[in-house]
A and B are shown apart, each in its own frame.
Chain A
């Protein structure tokens, strides 16, 4: 098991390295001189030169990359151009709101999505299935930002049941996590349905029914366990979707998280913050997929780690 995880981590290294190089090169791909960007529009040429030296932008690219990589390993991404505070501090302050938002969205959307998918598969081509799948295809077609605006208009503005923006209490989490999770719930529902339809036609299900196991047992014990394998893989992929989606949802609900930080940073060309966030988002995504792979083996006894 440990050996397997270590092997997978090693296998990730090339991808991580290339992602790191791309994020590093990002500064040099930006139009204009990064030193001038950092020094500000009114800086004199002398100041720009000083800043260039200070940031190490006068050295060769490989040297700069080593410096960047060593800094990144210590979570040191330099100073935000906008606030002049360390990038790591900016990110640390914003990390938890995004983390909890993503986690809550994942929890409810997977639960509801799988429930709809299972019911649809059991009642295949009958009313519950049609209703469930109509919801699901609507869910993947409604853009998150539009859904968020509609929900806010109805539940916060018209009905006054829930707060509009901010993240001060658990009630603030309801609308943003519904908005963020809706598409994932829809995808999970469609995916669970098709995984279940496949499985419910398998021989061992027929055997279970034939020997008199009751239908709930068949679905939950024999069906669910086997359907979980593809479903867990799908969940890992959807986490990436949630991380990306949080960027949009945080803008709608003025959520003090990483996504809004990123959008503001892109607006202000605050490249140290953009670099750190892009790296962080992709690192999270890569790690989550690794965790999914490990979980995969725990659920599926036919996979043995080598």
Chain B
């Protein structure tokens, strides 16, 4: 390969267009991302959700745990109660808003922990190979051997219920996914010329991993991060639905569905709104993740 084609490849990878100006990676990302209307809308919805989650305690119309409208038990949606009233007389709209805070926090914190630990393990396994690789990948195999939600249930069985333990369980559940992903990318990156150049200039392993390999794994991690938040929100809500996570009267969406189950005949709206809340939240993160993937992964040019 000649130097000229190398240079051209590097330029096109940086997003240089016909006029010869080179866009920064972030500008290039934004150029591709903004073409995707669905992902843009999903992203805007996620931002709205985050804002709602942050300000929820100040904007809810009624107290979520201690306000009881005894005259309107199981009442259908109305101007006074936008999403109706549940079996105990609590305002469902207020509880949905507060639930956004719980679900988003649970999803975000658990995936952040999982991604952090998983990325470090993946970098170590991929860069050093040998024993590091064998031990870390064996650890991942073992975690992967517990299908789906089972690992989270086993951890909750040991630690006991409650949202904190659920977050911890879902975090552990996320580690092997990120570890494998980052390991794969690291293995592909570490034999590339720029890494060898750094090594020949005397860069230490730490510098090479942190300055040269880690940035190359970021885009894959970001995409998975968004997609995993969806999975984690569902997993956390499922655990609460099974009675192993958030306990009543906490306005967690899964727990709300659990209590609504016995009232399905008289008050279907008490189940429908939390179900829709989970659905739209997870959908937004999944669509955002798809959009990020299309914008960040050069191999997946829109086709």
Q: Which residues of A come within 8 Å of B, CB atoms?
A: 14-15, 18-19, 22, 26, 29-31, 124-125, 137-138, 140-146, 149-150, 152-153, 157, 197, 239-245, 247-248, 251-252, 262-263, 266-267, 269, 274, 278, 281-282, 284-286
In the bound assembly, the distance between CA atoms of A184 and B241 in angstroms comes to 20
Give the chain B neighbours of A282 by CB distance below 8 A.
145-147, 150
Bound-state Cα–Cα, A263 to B156, Å: 11
Contact between A244 and B149 (Cβ–Cβ < 8 Å)? yes
Which residues of chain B from 120 to 160 have a CB within 8 Å of any chain A CB?
A: 138, 141-142, 144-150, 153-154, 156-158, 160
- B251 located at the interface, meaning its Cβ lies under 8 Å from any Cβ of chain A in the complex: no
Q: Within the complex, which residue of B242, B264, B271, B275 is in contact with A251, where a contact is CB–CB below 8 Å? A: B242
Q: A153-B271, A244-B149 are in contact. Are A145 and B257 (CB under 8 A)?
A: yes
Count of CB-CB pairs between chains A and B under 8 Å: 132
Q: Is the CB of A245 within 8 A of B148?
A: yes
Q: Which residues of the other chain, A, contact B260 by a CB distance below 8 angstroms?
A: 149
Q: Which residues of A have CB within 8 Å of B145? A: 15, 19, 282, 285-286
Minimum C-beta distance from B223 to chain A (A): 14
Given contacts A29-B158, A30-B158, A247 and B279 within 8 Å (CB-CB): no
Q: Which of B154, B254, B271 contacts A274 (CB under 8 A)?
A: B154
Q: A243-B147, A274-B154 are in contact. Are A150 and B275 (CB under 8 A)?
A: yes
Q: Is the CB of A281 within 8 A of B146?
A: yes
A240 to B268, CA, bound (A): 32
Smallest beta-carbon distance A89→chain B, Å: 22
CB distance from B299 to the nearest CB of A (A): 11
Pair B283/A145 contact, Cβ less than 8 Å: no
Contact B283 A247 (CB under 8 A): no
Is B290 interfacial (CB 8 A cutoff)? yes
In angstroms, Cα B244 to Cα A229, docked, is 38
Q: Is the CB of B238 within 8 A of A145?
A: yes
Q: Is the CB of A266 within 8 A of B156?
A: yes
- What separation, in Å, do the CA atoms of A241 and B231 have in the docked complex? 12
Tell me the complex Cα distance, A267–B5, Å.
Answer: 64
Q: Are A143 and B237 in contact (CB under 8 A)?
A: yes
Assembled-state Cα–Cα distance A19/B229 (Å): 27
**Chain A hits for B244, CB < 8 A:** 263, 266
Q: Which of B252-303 contact A (CB under 8 A)?
A: 254, 257, 260-261, 264-265, 268, 271-272, 274-275, 278-279, 282-283, 286-287, 290, 303
Residue B166 interfacial (CB < 8 Å): no
Interface residue count for B (Cβ, 8 Å)?
Answer: 43
The residue on A at minimum CB distance from B158 is A29
Residues in A whose Cβ lies below 8 Å from that of B286: 137, 140-141
Q: A141-B286, A197-B303, A266-B244 are in contact. Are A243 and B158 (CB under 8 A)?
A: no
Taking CB atoms, residues of chain A closer than 8 Å to B102 are none
Please classify the interface of chain B as helix (H, G, I), strand (E, B), loop, or mixed, using the class held by over half of its residues. helix
Inter-chain CA distance A245–B254, complex, in Å, is 15
Is B234 at the interface (CB under 8 A from chain A)? yes
The reply to whether A149 and B257 form a contact with Cβ atoms under 8 Å apart is: yes
Known: A22-B142, A285-B147. A150 touches B272 (CB 8 A): yes
A267 engages B243 (CB within 8 Å): yes
Cα–Cα distance between A14 and B283 once the two chains are bound (Å): 38
Q: B283, A141: Cβ atoms under 8 Å?
A: yes
Interface of chain B residues 82 through 138 with chain A (CB within 8 A): 138
Q: Please, how many angstroms separate the alpha-carbon atoms of A274 and B244 in the complex?
A: 14
The answer for the CA separation of A263 and B144 in the assembled complex, in Å, is: 20
Closest B residue to A143 using CB positions: B234
Residue of A nearest to B148 (CB): A244
Quote the shortest CB–CB distance from B148 to chain A (angstroms). Answer: 2
- B230 at the binding interface (Cβ < 8 Å): yes
Residue of A nearest to B142 (CB): A18
Contacts of B283 in A (CB 8 A): 137-138, 141
Residues of B within 8 A of A252 (CB): 261
The residue in chain B whose Cβ has the minimal distance to the Cβ of A183 is B234
- The complex places the Cα of A239 from the Cα of B147 at a distance, in Å, of 8
Please determine whether A141 and B279 come into contact, CB atoms closer than 8 angstroms. Answer: yes
Nearest-CB residue, chain A, relative to B300: A194
A18, B138: Cα distance in complex, Å: 9
Contacts of B264 in A (CB 8 A): 149, 152-153, 157
- The 9 A-B residue pairs whose C-beta atoms are closest, nearest first, are A244-B148, A240-B147, A146-B275, A141-B283, A141-B282, A285-B147, A244-B149, A243-B147, A282-B145
Q: Closest A-chain residue to B149, C-beta based? A: A244
Q: Are A137 and B142 in contact (CB under 8 A)?
A: no
| B238-A243 in contact (CB<8A) | no
Interface contact B265-A145, CB-CB below 8 Å: no
Can you list 27 A-B pairs with a CB-CB distance of less than 8 A? Answer: A14-B138, A18-B138, A19-B142, A19-B146, A124-B303, A137-B287, A138-B283, A140-B230, A141-B279, A142-B282, A143-B254, A145-B238, A145-B241, A146-B257, A149-B261, A150-B271, A152-B264, A240-B144, A247-B148, A247-B153, A251-B241, A278-B150, A281-B146, A282-B145, A282-B150, A285-B145, A285-B147
